[in-house]
Amino acid sequence: MTAKKSSEAARQYIDLYRHNSELIDRACDAPALNRRRKDALSVFESTPFPCKGDEGYEKTSVEEIFAPDYGINVARKNIPVDAARSFKCDVPNLSTLAAFVVNDAFVPSQGLAERLPQGVTFMSLAEGARRFPELVEEYYGRLATDSSAMVALNTLLLQDGVLIHIAKGTKVEKPLQLVNIFSAPVPLLAFRRLLVVVEEGAAVKLLVCDHTQDSGKAYCASQVAEIFVRRGARFEMCSIEESSALTSRMAQTYVSQEEGSVTNVNTTTLTCGTSRNEWRVSLNGSHCESRLTGMAIGSDEMHIDNDTSVNHNAPHCHSDQTFKYVLDGKSRGAFEGRILVTPEAPFTEAYQSTRNILASPDARMHCKPQLEIYNDEVKCSHGATTGQLDHEKIFYMRSRGIPEAEARTMLMQAFMIDIIESVSIPGLSDRLRHLVERRFDGTLGSCASCNSNC
């Protein structure tokens, strides 16, 4: 892609902001968010979108993701959406404290504020910036520093998001659930932001689901998450993407862990168009534990890219990364994972693994595991394998009367079982197993366009 095209793709957003800056600030009405826009504009004007082949973006062009002329709801027009339809059809039936992001607007479930335990804040980021300006000022933009074009664009045009704050020592028994929904009469680009602060000794579990209700419209999501896990805190998250072939997603998640904290994060892509997920985890205190697992199931012409970076900046920390892909049709997968061990991080244990199955001759997988170690007192490893289904196992199962298609499905389900079981939210692993089964047998998504048949 030429530099001219690249600048044209960015210019539409620069012009949009310059022509509507007062309207954007007035509609947002949150000084803690608004005052960062000019700095973000400066970065965005001088930092090009990554294109396919750039370092770290060998198989994904962010330029192409943001190039289309999407609509942006600058004036905050109300777009009616049946949130309950996505919630009832494809979101796991769990007992949760739920809220929605409808396109780019926070919508709490009925009575959410009254049902939240003491010490738990789960609300609109714009409202939180008005009610708790010191909290948002302290954390917003501290990890996502606008150093990339994608973060700068998100900061520039963001008008709402989600704020989650768990007070010191608070143990939240019931999981929080955030449902991102796309539904609009025109192609739409939504800017979403998630700010999570888990204070010292607190614990919370979060389920995040992405859905597209109208599969006939083109949508794009710019999603940036900043997650702070303070000393001795515990944070667990499961992210499930179940969108449409015309939906693109650029998601960047930044995690900062302090001494003795624990994180367990699972990301699952069941259906999508183009999805690029970046995970940046920094272990900044000693005796931290970090687990990052993911699975992706590709078919047709889906494009799924996961890029991880786990930075060990303190001693006696442990991290694990495990990602698995099953790719069919003409789908494309990419995984680039990096482990960094600094000189200040002796006695580190860090492991990374990606295993992949190509279920068709036209599917493609790109892997790039990386270790960057500046300390001798470490135990680190990485590995990557890509292959096909075991034909001997298929033959054996067929000899026992199992049809070939069913045998293939059973093997692919078994391949994903350890990723599914890594999910620790009660009841979710069983539901996720069911969703994976439906994905492999071709019935997942049948509810996405239904009316009254759910």
Say yes or no to pLDDT of 3 above 60. Answer: no
Average pLDDT score over residue span 444-450: 43
Among 140-144, 160-164, 437-441, name the one with the lowest average pLDDT. 437-441
- Pick 445 or 28 by higher pLDDT: 28
Single-letter code of the amino acid located at 372: E
Give the per-residue pLDDT at 454: 29
Among 125-139, 326-340, 388-402, name the one with the lowest average pLDDT. 388-402
pLDDT confidence band for 402 (50 / 70 / 90): confident
How far apart, in whole angstroms, are the C-alpha atoms of residue 362 and residue 33?
45
To the nearest whole percent, how much of the chain has pLDDT over 90?
75
Give the per-residue pLDDT at 9: 83
Give the per-residue pLDDT at 86: 57
How far apart, in whole angstroms, are the C-alpha atoms of residue 102 and residue 109?
12
- Pick 388 or 70 by higher pLDDT: 70
Q: What is the pTM assigned to this prediction?
A: 0.92
Average pLDDT score over residue span 283-294: 97
Give the per-residue pLDDT at 371: 95
- Write out the E strands in 213-286: 219-229, 234-242, 247-257, 262-271, 274-283
Residues 6+ apart with CB under 8 A from 119: 166, 167, 168, 169, 170, 202
Give the per-residue pLDDT at 288: 98
Helix axes 404-415, 391-399, angle to 10 degrees: 130
Say yes or no to pLDDT of 398 above 70. Answer: yes
64, 197 Cβ separation under 8 angstroms: no
- Pick 242 or 145 by higher pLDDT: 242
Torsion sign across C-alpha atoms 444, 445, 447, 450: negative
State both tokens at 164.
Answer: 């989650």
Say yes or no to pLDDT of 280 above 90. Answer: yes
Say yes or no to pLDDT of 448 above 50. Answer: no
Give the per-residue pLDDT at 390: 75
Give the per-residue pLDDT at 313: 98
Residues 6+ apart with CB under 8 A from 436: 270, 295, 297, 413, 416, 420
Give the per-residue pLDDT at 333: 97
Say yes or no to pLDDT of 394 above 90. Answer: no
Name the most confidently modeled range: 64-78, 287-301, 382-396: 287-301
Average pLDDT score over residue span 183-202: 96
For 320, what's the count of Cα atoms within 13 Å in the CB-facing half-sphere?
12
Average pLDDT score over residue span 388-409: 78
Give the per-residue pLDDT at 93: 54
pLDDT confidence band for 181 (50 / 70 / 90): very high
Encode pLDDT of 415-441 as tens digits.
899 999 989 887 888 888 888 988 888
Say yes or no to pLDDT of 444 above 80. Answer: no
Average pLDDT, the chain: 90
Enumerate the domain spans of the chain: 3-441
pLDDT confidence band for 41 (50 / 70 / 90): very high
- Pick 167 or 76 by higher pLDDT: 167
- Write out the E strands in 144-216: 162-166, 176-182, 188-198, 203-212
Average pLDDT score over residue span 275-293: 97
Encode pLDDT of 101-137 as tens digits.
999 999 999 899 999 999 999 999 999 999 999 999 9
Among 145-149, 314-318, 368-372, 378-382, name the one with the lowest average pLDDT. 145-149
Average pLDDT score over residue span 289-313: 97
Encode pLDDT of 344-359 as tens digits.
999 999 999 999 999 9
